[in-house]
Structure formats: structure tokens, C-alpha cells
Amino acid sequence: MTGIDLRDISHAFGNTQVLDRVSLSVRPGELVCLLGPSGCGKTTLLRLAAGLEELQEGVISIGGRSVAHGGKGPGLPPERRGVGLMFQDFALFPHLNVRENIGFGTDTRDPARQAWIDAALLQMGLADTAGMYPHTLSGGQQQRVALLRALAPAPSVLLLDEPFSGLDVGRRAQVRADTLRLVKNSGVATLMVTHDPEEAMFMADRIHIMNAGRIVQGGSPTELYFEPADAFVTEFFGPVNRFHGAVSGGAVETPLGRFTVSGFADDTPVDVLIRVEGLRVAGYADAPEGEPDDNAGRQPASVTLEVETARPLGRSSYVVFKLAGGGRAIGRIPGMFLPATGERLEIAVNPRQAHVFSHHT
Ligand SMILES: Nc1ncnc2c1ncn2[C@@H]1O[C@H](COP(=O)(O)OP(=O)(O)OP(=O)(O)O)[C@@H](O)[C@H]1O
Ligand SMILES: [Mg+2]
């Protein structure tokens, strides 16, 4: 297999275990995201893959050949691994212009590579900046230059660590889309680190969720969103309403309705996590597009709730409902939906957006 393969990687700094038997691989042309909270070991894994940190345990192969073996010395040096890198705190060479920055690691006598650089400059909207120096570029332009510099030597593996951090929302979306097109066209195996779930879902063919040095779950964006393995993964993809209950007759009762559960014996204590975007207001809108409605044959949970407040967010509205007993439930309703305080609404939860896990105390 080509691309990159990380097998049973463990790593400690002093007495602190930072990675615990992490395994993953990225095929050529594939983009895999590592998603996890701050400090979970994402950058460390990337540094090990690049050869910037000596491997303690496990095996790293690139293009089917082992480049580092835990406990057997430093392995192949970074510059011989065929890896392109772009880190959180990338720095362009201040004394080189854009074209020189990008061409730095390439053979200037290779016309094919130089033609690639010209085409890439054009594709990334940088053609007009080719002769400019880094300090005269915007943050977004610098980010694109750094990305092209990593790709220019035609690496077989691209490692990106939070490549879009520091960009404002609008520019981020544009740079992400351009980057995705560029890496997909180049056929490189890309491993990208982020802690933004929306970014991971947008970019990735597959996502690996990390927590405290371990991979908790891997899968396609839709698998992870609709079939999270545990409460941690569920909440990583966005806010939820969390209820505690006990299984009775193959279902669990919550203030947002009754949900059928499978695989739990009666009386098992469970947590029910319902995504805020899983609440639907009866008669207001149909299921959002692309979200298969698997209610077929099942009675959707439906309850009547009183609105406490409703706030506009732009593309959606944030509605707080009062629950009997003093609790609250949050709904994120598409569009401008701003019911008055005290209004009573019928709420049906999309059962695909309700996740039940055994309760851990
Ligand atoms: N050189 C080092 N020496 C000692 N501890 C380190 C070193 N590098 C990282 N660590 C520790 O290892 C853990 C994982 O760090 P790492 O940078 O891999 O996390 P991360 O997932 O990239 O986090 P972030 O999202 O904040 O960038 C942290 O607790 C960090 O403090
Ligand atoms: Mg990091």
C-alpha cells in the first residue's frame, strides 16, 4: 500500500503518556482528518509522522516502506520521507517572494514542476502576487502560499496541522474549498489536524476522533455524525440536550418524548443525547434536505412545549423551551423562526438525532 500507515504508535513525554496505540492510514488521493480537543496528541502524531520527533513505539510506513521503527533510532530523516508539511505556526521565508517561496524545495530546472507552480498559483488566486513579498500579503494569501510550498515538491504525503487557524470565517470557507480542490487534484495522501468538527466534515473522506491520546472512533463524516460511538463523539459534533433515564419495555422516556432503544436490558440507566438540530416544530418545516427520515413505521416522539425565548442566528434560530420540573431544552430551527415567549409548540424529534448510551457515573 502507498500513502502513509501509522501502526500502534505510543508516545510519552517524560512520565506523561501522550499517545496510546494509535493506528491509522491514509491512501493516495484521500484526505483524513484527525479531530480532537486541545492537548489530545494530534500535533505530536503529525510530528512523529514527519520525523521531527523520534518514534518510541510503533511503525511508520510511507509508500509501503518502513521509515521509522519504535526504539530503533531516529529513522529516515524528515527531508527523505517525501512528506509535505504545514504547521500551525508556518513561516514563509521573508526575503523570498511568493514564487520563490513556493519553488524553494523544487528543482528549478524541471519544467514540469515549474509549470505546476504556475498553474497552482492561478488556481489559488495568487497569480498577481507571484512577485510580492510575504509581509505585503494578507493572512489568507500567506496561508495559501504556505500550502503551495508544501505541495510544490510533489510529496506523496501531506501533513497539515490546523492549516486554517487564524483566518476569519468568510476567508476560511474560501481557503478550505480551494485547498480541498488542490489536494484532491494532486492525488497526495493528506492527513489534516483540526479541532473544528465542521471543518473536518467539510474536508474529510474519513475522520478519526481522538481523545486523551487514543482514537475513539473512525469513519466517514456522516457515520460519525449519525452513528457516534459514545457521548464524547456525539457532543464533539455540536451541542445536545442531555437526559438521564432508565430503559423500560425497549424504550426510554425523556421530556422530548419516548425513544426506542435496542441492545439494553430493562432498568439499564442510560443517557439520551439529542442534537439541538434534531428538534422539529410540527407544521413549520419538513426534514432538512439530505437527512433521510427513518421514521417509517415508527411513531415519532412528539411533545408540546412552551417557548421561553427565541433568538435569531441568521441561517437558523435558537429556541429555548421550558420543561416540566424546571429544566430546559434547546432547539436549533432552520431559518428565521422566532415564536413569542409563552407560545406552545408541538415538537417532534428526528429519532436519527437522538443517541442513547449506557450511563457512566
Ligand atoms: N515537547 C514536549 N515536551 C513535553 N510535553 C509535550 C511536548 N509536546 C507536547 N507535549 C504535551 O503533549 C500533549 C499533547 O500535545 P499536542 O501538541 O500533541 O496536542 P494537540 O492535540 O496538538 O493540541 P492542540 O489542539 O492544542 O494543538 C500535551 O499535554 C502537551 O502539553
Ligand atoms: Mg496541536
pLDDT, tens only, 187-227: 999 999 998 999 999 999 999 999 999 999 999 999 999 99
CATH of domain 239-287+298-358: 2.40.50.140
DSSP assignment, residue 79? G
User: Taking 90 as the threshold, does the pLDDT of residue 117 lie above it?
Assistant: yes
Ligand 1 pocket test target in 6, 10, 13, 17 with most atoms within 8 Å of CB = 13
Look at strands 16-26 and 4-13 and give their pairing. antiparallel
Compute the average pLDDT of residues 100-119: 90
Ligand 1 atom 30, closest CA: 39
Atom of ligand 1 nearest to the CA of 162: 27
Distance 197 CA to ligand 2 centre (A): 15
Whole-angstrom distance, CA of residue 235 vs CA of residue 271: 12
- Could you tell me which of 199, 191, 105, 205 has the C-alpha nearest to residue 148? 105
Proximal ligand: closest to the CA of 39: 1
What HEC string does the chain produce?
Answer: CCCEEEEEEEEEECCEEEEEEEEEEECCCCEEEEECCCCCCHHHHHHHHHCCCCCCEEEEEECCEEEEECCCCCCCCHHHCCEEEECCCCCCCCCCCHHHHHHCCCCCCCHHHHHHHHHHHHHCCCHHHCCCCHHHCCHHHHHHHHHHHHHCCCCCEEEEECCCCCCCHHHHHHHHHHHHHHHHHHCCEEEEEECCHHHHHHHCCEEEEEECCEEEEEECHHHHHHCCCCHHHHHHCCCEEEEEEECECCEEEECCEEEECCCCCCCCEEEEEEEHHHEEECCCCCCCCCCCCCCCCCCCCEEEEEEEEEEECCCEEEEEEECCCCCEEEEEEECCCCCCCCCEEEEEECHHHEEEEECCC
CA of 48 to the centre of ligand 2 (A): 13
Question: How would you classify residue 326: left for phi > 0, otherwise alpha for psi between -120 and 50, otherwise beta?
Answer: left
- C-beta of residue 206 within 8 angstroms of C-beta of residue 19: no
Question: What is the best residue among 20, 34, 44, 86 to mutate for testing ligand 1's pocket, by most ligand atoms within 8 Å of CB?
Answer: 44
Q: Which atom of ligand 1 is nearest to the CA of 213?
A: 14
- Higher-confidence residue of 283 and 267: namely 267
Tell me how far the alpha carbon of residue 153 lies from the centroid of ligand 2, in angstroms. 24
- Give the rounded percent of residues in the chain with a pLDDT score beyond 90: 76
- Report the separation in Å between the CA atom of 121 and the middle of ligand 1, taken as the mean of its atom positions: 34
- pLDDT digit string (tens) for 270-327? 999 999 999 999 877 654 544 445 544 444 558 999 999 999 999 999 999 999 888 9
Instruction: Provide the pLDDT for residue 216.
Output: 97
4-231 and 239-287+298-358, same CATH topology: no
**Pocket test residue of 6, 19, 40, 56 for ligand 1, highest count of atoms within 8 A of CB:** 40
What pLDDT score was predicted for residue 218?
97
* pLDDT over threshold 50, residue 356: yes
Residue nearest to atom 18 of ligand 1 (CA): 41
Distance from the alpha carbon of residue 212 to the mean position of ligand 2, in angstroms:
13
Residue 351: CB atoms within 10 A of its CB come to 19
Torsion of CA 118, 120, 123, 125, to 10 degrees: -80
Please, what sign has the CA dihedral across residues 142, 162, 200, 83? positive
CATH 3.40.50.300 fits 4-231, yes or no: yes
Q: Whose CA is nearest to atom 24 of ligand 1?
A: 38
d(CA 54, CA 361): 39
Residue pLDDT, tens place only, 20-54: 999 999 999 999 999 999 999 999 999 999 999 99
Structural domain spans, the chain:
4-231, 239-287+298-358
Pocket residues: Cβ below 6 A from ligand 1? 13, 18, 36, 38-44, 195
> Which percentage of the chain shows pLDDT scores above 70?
95
* Mutation choice for ligand 1 from 15, 18, 33, 45, CB with most ligand atoms inside 8 A: 18
Angle at 36 between CA 231 and CA 13, to 5 degrees: 120
Atom 5 of ligand 1 has which residue's CA nearest to it?
13
